[in-house]
Amino acid sequence: MPRVFCDTVISQDILPGTPAAAADWLVVASEPYGLTFTREGDRRTADGPFGRLTLTVGTDALCLRVESGDRGLLERFRGSVTEHLLGLLGEGAAIVWTGDVETGALFADFREIRVTAVRDLTPRLRRITFRGLDLGRFAGSDNLHVRLYLPPPGLEVPSWPRPAPDGRPVLPEPERRPAVRYYTLRRVDADAGELDIDVVLHGDDGHSGEAPGAGFARRARPGDLCGMSGPYGLGVSPASWYLLAGDETALPAIARILEELPDDACGTALIEVEDATDELPLQAPAGVAIRWLHRRSAAAASPLVEAVRALTLPADSATLFAWVACEFDELARLRACLRGRGVDRDRMLAVAYWRRTPPTASPDRGTPG
């Protein structure tokens, strides 16, 4: 696909300093987001996961160009750059982009999807099958997750976020605003226009403290309409040995990763669930061992953390890749454990899928963060 791009020009009269100083500020502000710039004359260029950002310093203006291989990624990148610019110029500044900007009412990576089937895989895991149009961008194996936009119950005609002229999303009115949660794409068949999303159920149906994702899953019926954008999130990097570790919120992602590993892959998958009724048959390479950890019968407060601590890892940590997803606090302990055992940051992907909350509220299990 040809690269798409958009440009904006920030004139000297609205900059807090010189164009060169503004470019230097943006370079520093972009570093935490993984953008490293190279400098050649009056131009600073950085390549990142969404595309390329070029800053060109003029005598009386700073010119920015955002490029990407995909219109949806371009929109995300442009919105992020706009946020940075407003941090420099102030929220009242008007940022105008030209080039390959969207003209429709919805973002390029947004799709409406409709429920076609609902079935329970276990007492606490429900699979929802959706149908939608033009799902090709969601069918790759590099990105596992999507944002689901869940309309308020009883709203017959949902309202969705739309792009503002500066690239940021304009949200619907609060009473019409969908709840947004991340979920794993368990299966995508772009040719058939069909996908599966598995949702962990928790809490009591209908109670005010129930999380939006679980509440939607309990109520879901064929014909229900949702929104979806993405894809987002990363899977595993190539390695000679894999560690996959997570609780039931990570089970859909672990199941998909196992299916997509090479046939000769080796490693271990550790999956913490409530009890044996939450186990599922999983397809995995012969060299990957699957261990189910049951909270209900475990002596340890966190059987997943204890299992990772006790696991024998390859002597050379540079040959492995660890993919870990679970509750926020447990993830911190797992990350520290793996780092203490010599696993470098670039050989690990650790993501908090939910965070434990006080008893008066319900954690939204099944929601990748």
Count the residues in the chain: 369
- pLDDT tens for 15-52 read 999 999 999 999 999 888 878 999 999 999 999 888 99
Question: How many CB atoms are located within 10 Å of the residue 267 CB?
Answer: 24
Given this model, what pLDDT does residue 204 score?
46
Q: What percent of the chain has pLDDT over 90?
A: 75
- pLDDT tens for 212-243 read 899 999 999 999 999 999 998 878 999 999 99
Closest CA to 81 of 64, 68, 105, 61: 64
End-to-end CA distance of the chain: 30
330, 248 Cβ separation under 8 angstroms: no
Number of helices and strands (H, E) in the chain?
Answer: 6, 20
Q: State both tokens at 33.
A: 């987001």
Phi-psi region of 91 (alpha: psi -120 to 50; beta: other; left: phi over 0): alpha
Q: From CA 163, how far away is CA 165, in angstroms rounded?
A: 7
Given this model, what pLDDT does residue 2 score?
66
Average pLDDT over residues 144-163: 91
Most confident of 115-124, 135-144, 156-165: 115-124
- pLDDT tens for 186-206 read 999 999 999 999 999 975 444
Given this model, what pLDDT does residue 216 score?
93
84, 29 Cβ separation under 8 angstroms: yes
The DSSP bridge pattern shows strands 125-132 and 110-122 to be antiparallel
> How does the average pLDDT of the chain come out, rounded?
90
Given this model, what pLDDT does residue 157 score?
85
Q: How far is CA 327 from CA 141, 144, 271, 332, 348, in A?
A: 24, 18, 13, 9, 17
Nearest-10 Cα torsion for 30, 31, 37, 42:
50
Given this model, what pLDDT does residue 182 score?
93
pLDDT at 304 over 70: yes
Q: From CA 287, how far away is CA 271, in angstroms rounded?
A: 17
Chain-centre distance for alpha carbon 14 = 35
Q: From CA 231, how far away is CA 141, in angstroms rounded?
A: 10
| DSSP annotation of 341 | T
pLDDT at 361 over 50: no
Given this model, what pLDDT does residue 140 score?
86
Q: From CA 72, how far away is CA 70, in angstroms rounded?
A: 6
